[in-house]
A = this chain, B = another copy of it.
Amino acid sequence: MRNCNHRGHTIFFGNRPKIIASATVAGPKECAGIVGQYVDRPISDDMFGEDTFEKAECKMLSVAIDQAIRNAALERKQIDVLFSGDLLNQIISASFAARDFDIPFLGVYSACSTMSESILLAASMVNAGYAVRAVAATGSHFASAERQYRYPLEQGTTRPPQSQWTVTGAGGCVISSEGEGIAIVSGTMGKVVDFGVTDVNNMGAAMAPACADTLIRHFRDTDTQPEDYDLIVSGDLGALGSRILKDLTWEKGFDVSSNHVDCGEIIYKVIEDEFQGGSGAGCSAVVFNSYIMSKLISGQFRRVLFAATGALLSTVSSGQGESIPCISHAVELVR
């Protein structure tokens, strides 16, 4: 006898696992913007007391996980599994952060879609009774991303207008089968979509088709329309990518123009400096776990579709002439 809890590639979480707490850490540039008043641990020094950018990134992630557990009024030993990943080679931020916790760790990677992939998997485990409480978390750091993916900061390379700024920040949430919180109702798994974009400074254009693919499949699998959601949140398409997303979904008969926001587009206050806005796994992690979660808890939003977006390239793949495969995983949240 088949036990079927999915339709198409959307999973339905009938036991309604809940996000019972979340937490964020963010740098000064990030805290100057829309998320500032919601961030648990604003940091003034982007080295966060460490001697390398990578260690600072890892520490932010560790602090976000720890704070999310504290915000849930839980102890670490009450968490059954941690899902986390990040942009650094071999996801060292997540692996080294996990070392700080005596909690089973399932490492994931979907670049800047890691926040929603982690939530989707954590909700899957909790809904199925494999875990009572799980943590989903990720983060990024501007300086570690620049030197790994682009140029040494000291070089002062000029940024093209279609580029985005990697967010310095981390966010995490506790997903539980017990307690009150924001229910995770469904999750739509992303497919790899590659429209042949090769410009590594134009991630928004590369990622928009993957996000559109996931959103459209979500609407079809769940028999919903964009207007059924108070907010449809993409990860870090930025301003240009968001316009492309609206066009691509509109072409398929789904108009998201009135209720779509992009975490990358809204995170920074002074948009001129960062061109298309924020990016990085920490972008959607910080916006979701601070601003979006606060608005869900307050009741300003009652139903949100969160689709973080990731570009699955590396410096090696780009150096070998490959285009940029992208992905977007989505989760539906209901107050």
Are A108 and B111 CB-contacts (below 8 A) given A121-B121, A320-B55?
A: no
Stretch from A23-31, A126-134, A226-234 that touches the partner: A126-134
A216 CB-CB contact with B under 8 Å = no
- What string of 1s and 0s marks CB contacts (under 8 Å) between A42-77 and chain B? 000000000010110000000000000000000000
**Distance in angstroms between the alpha carbons of A2 and B128 in the assembled complex:** 10
Complex: chain B residue closest to A113, CB-CB: B107
Stretch from A89-97, A157-165, A235-243, A252-260 that touches the partner: A89-97
Total chain A interface residues with beta-carbon distance under 8 A = 64
A107 & B103 in contact (Cβ 8 Å cutoff) = no
Determine the chain B residues whose CB is within 8 A of the CB of A177 once the complex forms: 2-3
**Distance in angstroms between the alpha carbons of A87 and B95 in the assembled complex:** 14
Contact for A80 among B6, B110, B121, CB less than 8 A? B6
**Distance in angstroms between the alpha carbons of A4 and B111 in the assembled complex:** 32
Contact for A312 among B15, B55, B92, CB less than 8 A? B92
Contact for A2 among B110, B120, B178, B192, CB less than 8 A? B178
Copies assembled: 2
**Distance in angstroms between the alpha carbons of A321 and B127 in the assembled complex:** 40
Determine the chain B residues whose CB is within 8 A of the CB of A5 once the complex forms: 128-130
A322 CB-CB contact with B under 8 Å = yes
Are A52 and B178 CB-contacts (below 8 A) given A104-B190, A128-B127?
A: no
- What string of 1s and 0s marks CB contacts (under 8 Å) between A85-125 and chain B? 10111111001101100111111111100000100110011
* Smallest CB separation, A287 vs chain B (Å): 22
A81 & B189 in contact (Cβ 8 Å cutoff) = yes
* Smallest CB separation, A83 vs chain B (Å): 10
B2 & A105 in contact (Cβ 8 Å cutoff) = no
A325 & B110 in contact (Cβ 8 Å cutoff) = no
Are A316 and B95 CB-contacts (below 8 A) given A3-B15, A109-B109?
A: no
A320 & B106 in contact (Cβ 8 Å cutoff) = no
A191 CB-CB contact with B under 8 Å = yes
* Smallest CB separation, A150 vs chain B (Å): 14
B99 & A192 in contact (Cβ 8 Å cutoff) = yes
Are A98 and B128 CB-contacts (below 8 A) given A52-B320, A109-B85?
A: no
**Distance in angstroms between the alpha carbons of A69 and B236 in the assembled complex:** 34
**Distance in angstroms between the alpha carbons of A110 and B108 in the assembled complex:** 8
10 contacts between A and B (CB under 8 A): A54-B320, A85-B107, A90-B313, A90-B314, A90-B317, A91-B312, A92-B312, A92-B313, A104-B190, A105-B192
